Each structure stands twice: as C-alpha cells, then as structure tokens.
Structure 1
C-alpha cells in the first residue's frame, strides 16, 4: 500500500505539475479542433471572426465556470495571450493551412489508431481531471459541506458543452458520453473524500487513479472502442428517474 501511495504522490505531486503546460496546450488544441468540426469549411470561411470566437470559448469553457466558483472575472482567465495565440494558431492550421497538412498530421493513422491524436487526448484528459478536482475544492471553499460540489466538478470539466449553447451546438456534437460519465464519477468521488465519508483513500490517490483510468478509456474511445463500464449504472439511474414509464409498461 505504501508503494501505491508513493506512486500516486509521484503522479500528482511531480509528474502532473511538471507537464501542466503540455496538458493545457493539448487541451486547448483539442477543444479548438472540436470547435472547428462543428461546422463545415464554408461556414468558418464566411464567419471567420465568429469561428475564432467559438474556438476561444470552447477552449476556455472550463476556466470560465471555474472562475465563477472562485469569484473571479471570466475575462481575467481568458486574457492569457499565449493561450489566445495558441488557439488562433491551431484554429488557422486546422482550417486554412493548404492541402490539409495539419489535419492529416493530427489524424495520422497507424493501423486503426491515431497515435498523435491519442497522445493529445491523454494530456487533455489529465488536465480535465485536475480541473474537476479543482472545481470540487473551490466549491467546498465557497459552500462548505454542500453536495453542489458534485455538480460543480462535472460542469467545469464539461464546460465546453455549456458554452457551446451560445452557438447553438448540441452536446452530442462536441463530446462523448464516456467523458461526461467519467467526470461525473470523478466529481462524486472527490466530493465524498472532501466530506470525509471515505477515509481509505486520499485525494492524491483518487486523482492519480482518475488520471490513469481516464486516459486509458479516452484512448479506447479515440480508437473506436467504447468503454461500457459506466453504462449499467447510468442505465439503472435513468430507469429509476423514469420509473413512471417503466410502471406503465407493466
């Protein structure tokens, strides 16, 4: 058990802070790609300023919601010039670079897998888990003991879906259900740990687990292999909420 604790502390205390910039870069690029894929090329060319604004709001969706929990200005978290420049560069390369060079580079395949895209999603997923924990912690500071932390952690980690409503995009166009269920599960675990209901694992161990576990199942999704581990629990909750419909069929 001590070895596991040391490994978790290594992941959360050394590795994640060391690659924080890489995680942020991969996350912003992946969100930019999602923003670009929601419309066809003609729309982006005709509405290039709105297209870039969409990429920015997609990239900063999680930070916008987290800033609200922290009581900060949303514009403040969006005012990082390096992030704005990175989004602009990825946006132009993905949409307007001749011969689709960057698109083919990102989606380069080796067999059935896309190694470069998988690496990018691994870093982006790790960043998403870190943000989920940060949102739960921020919620507990603002509202001690409240289970609103579960909702806060889930919403912040999936902030892109919310800001996408500004542009009339549906959540199904920009995220898969596995990502949403993963972050919901992580938010529940982080909240229960903060409330002290679970004492057999630490926050560090929980974060390390979800980083490793999350990167594995997100990589599977990129390769077209659906992780069905969340499906049973999700379906049971859905059936319970729709109990009147179930009773009507009996």
Structure 2
C-alpha cells in the first residue's frame, strides 16, 4: 500500500536520465568514442562497433559491463575491459542541460520546505563535473551524495544515512529515478514512495521486462509532475 503522500517531508532525486538526458547525450558520445578503438581491435566499421555495444546491452541488461562481454566475445586481452570502460566513462562533459522544468520544480519544492537530496552513482569526478555543468550545486539540495562505482556502499546505504541523519521515516520520503533495479528498488525495500521517470535506456529495459520486476508506486513523464503529485492535481502521474 502506498504511503499517504501528504506526509512527505523529503525527496531524493537521481541524476542521470532523471534530471537531464544522459542516454541521448553522454552515453552516445562515450560509445561513439569507444567505437573508434573497438573497430580497430575487432576489424569492423565504427558504426558496427557502436551498434555492437548497444546490442550487447540490450541482450544482457543495463547493469552488465558491455566491454567485458565484448572482450570475451572476441578473445581480446583482459586489459581491454578497463581500457574500453575508461574510454566510455571519462569523456568530455559538455552540451548537457536539465530537462525542462527541473530548476523551477526544485525552487518550488524548496519554497514549500521539502528537504531535497541528490544521490547519484558513478565516478566521483565525472558525476561532480556533471552536477557543476548542470548548475545543480547552487543550494537547490540539502545534500548531494555520490555513490562511487567501486565503493563499498550502495544507494540503499546512502538512503538509510539520510533517514538517520535527518530523522526521517521512510514513508516521509519520495524517491525519484529511472532505474528500477537501483534507486527504485532501494526505495521500495526501505518503504519509501517511489516515482519512476519515464526516460532513457534503463526505463526502456524496464518496459521490456516489467512483468518480472517490482513496480514503482508512480510513473511520471515530466519532472514537474512531482509538484502535481504532491498537490494532488490532475497530471500524467499514474
């Protein structure tokens, strides 16, 4: 049973594909860059190498390490797993912008005295650069937390830290994100209200296998729907 949304005191936001389009910008850019190296390694065109990355992820899921699979498929030296992954991750962070309505929504939520948190996963320096480029470090959030890719803590651990340090109950928190097997799963396990943003490759993967997965409490098409959800207005929230 979904908790009474009127009790909400805090909102946790994911970053990639929740507040800006990561799948259509940095993911494509990273894979295009890797395709240049991969084409030479396996003897194909750059376009074929680009499509191969997409196909491997589609077959094995968004949590798989695409490059481990490709290295194994073509019997490449194991060192290429890290080399290709690093090429994909450490790209130029530019030409990214927030989804429409994000800034205004955050400002309105702050005015309504909700506690706001940004919890994102990845390489610390890369995620911090994204946050700076998007202008999200300007006091919109009470706290920004980066879950390091190879660290020992998971998003659920950070969610529990937020609850403990801010004296919040799980049913007083809304968790917003695009990944059913990451922040949405963590929020559900802790008893938070979960809201899935309908965008990007993780959401596409969810649609393909939704009968086998947990379900978010709500889904939204625009970040502004958070305000409508909280104010019980008519919206695209389901």
Fold shared by both chains (TM-score > 0.5): no
TM superposition score normalised by structure 1: 0.29
TM superposition score normalised by structure 2: 0.30
Greater strand share, structure number:
2
Greater helix share, structure number:
1
